[in-house]
Chain A
Amino acid sequence: MSGAALEVPAKTRPALPGVDVSVVVPVDDPGAEIEDLFRAFSQELARLGRSHEFVFVLDGVGGKPRALLEALKVECGNVKIVSLARRFGESVALSAGFERASGAVILTAPGYLQVDPVEVRRLLGAIEAGADFVTPWRHPRVDSLVNRLQSRLFNWLLRRTMRISFHDVNCIFRAMRRAVLEEITVYGDLYRFLPVLAERQGFRVVEIRVRHLKERGKSGFFGFGAYARRILDILAIMFLTKFTHRPLRFFGTIGLGLFLAGLGISAYATAEKFLGGPPLRERPILLLGVTLMMLGVQIVGFGLVGEIIIFTQARHLREYKVERIE
């Protein structure tokens, strides 16, 4: 990272590859506060003496935000605009932005001033101090109580299942070294878990408390589908990080557990019969026992298929990350 960048008038600066900081902003709301964000971040980064660029990803929005961005581009030059053909969601938008970002450090932020822009300084400071990834913690939060509670519950669940220490994976005001993105690919809704994935790869992930200014997303309760998806996300990330290369550990534990439970129940019913109990054909509990056993067998079967799939790919697996060889 070069220190102070030359203050060349923005308009004449050629679009050189390799700025210090790329700010990637997904925009999915026609009412996004693009200009406020742009001015505030520009000012903050200029004050820090970092050369920078903005990559705005229009996630299926056109009209006003696009016109505004075109104007900013003409005015300042250091703006890249990526337009997605339709709305693809934050994860795809971020990946599209990363592809165009040339900075050594990449900063992501939502399309409005969610967090006090002066925190940019602390995020970049942490990177300079050796962190590879900086994840924020909006604390204290200023949005509705319902939002805070459900966010808290989600993060608590994630901390418990993944044994991590982050408090707020839902905020994308993050800073990361380029190397992190070169190694980790995100898809679906997994962008939330970037800090978790980065830590699993052995990167140094640091959490910083940031000042929360406002929240623009939906507030209040979400539909049932949204909660179901969050729970499934946690399940997916747990499975992917812990069991990708050992699927039978996951399926086998569940399957063997169910099988043994079923075996116990069936044995109990059978034993009772011989001790003068009712005949087995009149014991519906036997049905439960057999169901559990069969379910267990099938789940183990799934695990074995998983093992075969991994085994066929074994040559391409690299489970370790080397820091240095000396």
Chain B
Amino acid sequence: MPSPDPPRDRPGLSVVVPVFNEEESLAILHGEIVAALEGAGENFEILYVDDGSTDGSGRVLRALGRGDPRVHRIALRRNFGQTAALAAGFDVARGETVVTMDADLQNDPADVPALLARIREGFDLVSGWRRLRRDAFLTRRLPSLLANRVLRRMTGLSIHDSGCTLKAYRASLLRRLPLYAEMHRFLPVLGAIAGARVSEVEVGHRARRFGRSKYGIARAFRVVLDLMTVKMLVQFSTRPLHWFGVFGLPFLPLSAAFFALGLIEKGASLVFGTVVYPAIAVLLLLTSIDLLLLGLLAELAVRAGHRRGASLFGAFQTEVE
């Protein structure tokens, strides 16, 4: 604790809700959040991040905030995407605990107290798990299931639903995690690497009442690339040469094999029969060397980042009482 007696107006809990064109949902959502949190006796603030909405969301949010100092609207200049909107909310949030949720009413604010209880138990990040998802199977649930399975296998972290926006974080953890591109989905993984205690809680999930989903199947391909990134960052961001080595070294024996194939077909005369196999051998060799050199380049980048005092994660510790 920085000060033994924190000012009374500083909330213990900040709720961050990214909003993009959800004018019909907002009033209902707001009512539910307030009811859930007041019922649990929380001292909270609600930060709606208006991510460049073009419908009446801004107007609705201003109306909700009128006369309630706990409610704020953070208006972004244009639509920057969900990760950026969350980052904007986190940077403004003052609470020691931060809860995020979607504005489309699919998350149920009544689940928030359960998440907070877990945080009080000592966890640093608690993710919601939409066990019974109410979304289209082929375009939404299946890609998510697969991505989460791959993520679990890759990282060893047993979180079932990384993409669920309903999550609770200890603010001191959030300040350490990198948040850019589409990284918000991978915060549990990144948190776990940083040493945070990560847990999950089953939460309800409701069908969309208004509007349409802002995601589609095209996202699946991007998620594959993102997973690859996270895998690499997780395991090798401090020693990237290892990753590139694992990637590139197998090409060496493969190259030798093709080289041998090219020789064998002409007996032991040391003259290549056709150009195809030796040429393949050369390609594999060059690729292998290239990847190793790229690995060295990556080492250089990591080293340069360290020199600027940006330790990639820094071991995260919660305060010891």
Contacts and interface: CB of A to CB of B under 8 A. Distances in A.
Interface of A: 201-203, 245-246, 248-249, 252-253, 256, 280-284, 286-287, 290-291, 294, 297-298, 301-302, 304-305, 307-326
User: 6 tightest A-B contacts by CB?
Assistant: A202-B77, A312-B305, A314-B178, A202-B78, A320-B84, A319-B84
Interface of B: 52, 62, 65, 72-78, 80-81, 83-85, 87-88, 92, 178-182, 222, 225-226, 228-229, 232-233, 237, 240, 243-244, 247-248, 261-262, 265, 273-277, 279-280, 283-284, 286-287, 290-291, 294, 297-298, 301-302, 304-306, 310, 312
A320 B301 contact: no
A229 to B, nearest CB: 26
A248 B229 contact: yes
A326 B62 contact: yes
A298 B88 CA distance: 36
Contacts of A317: 178, 180
B276 A301 contact: no
Contacts of A298: 287, 290-291, 294
A283 B180 CA distance: 46
A308 B233 CA distance: 7
Contacts, number: 150
B276 A283 contact: yes
Nearest to A311: B233
Contacts of B233: 307-308, 311
> Looking at A202, A280, A281, A291, which has the most chain B CB atoms within 10 Å of its CB?
A281
Given A245-B181, A294-B284, A305-B294, A282 B276 contact: yes
A297 B62 CA distance: 51
A325 B294 contact: no
A309 B229 CA distance: 12
8 contacts: A252-B228, A287-B275, A290-B284, A301-B248, A310-B180, A312-B301, A320-B87, A322-B74
Contacts of B229: 248, 304, 307
B173 to A, nearest CB: 14
Nearest to A300: B228
Contacts of A294: 283-284, 286-287
A320 B225 CA distance: 23
B88 A320 contact: yes
Given A305-B240, A308-B240, 20 more contacts: A201-B77, A202-B77, A202-B78, A202-B80, A248-B225, A253-B225, A281-B273, A287-B283, A291-B283, A297-B287, A297-B291, A298-B291, A305-B298, A307-B229, A308-B233, A308-B298, A322-B88, A323-B75, A323-B76, A325-B74
A150 to B, nearest CB: 32
A310 B222 CA distance: 17
A281 B265 CA distance: 9
A283 B274 CA distance: 9
Contact of B228 (A248, A282, A311, A314): A248
Given A322-B74, A322-B77, A315 B85 contact: no
Contacts of A304: 228-229, 232, 240, 243-244, 294, 298
Contact of A301 (B247, B280, B312): B247
B298 A325 contact: no
Contacts of B304: 312
Contact of B77 (A245, A291, A323): A323
A319 B72 contact: no
Contact of B178 (A202, A301, A302, A315): A315
Contacts of A290: 280, 283-284
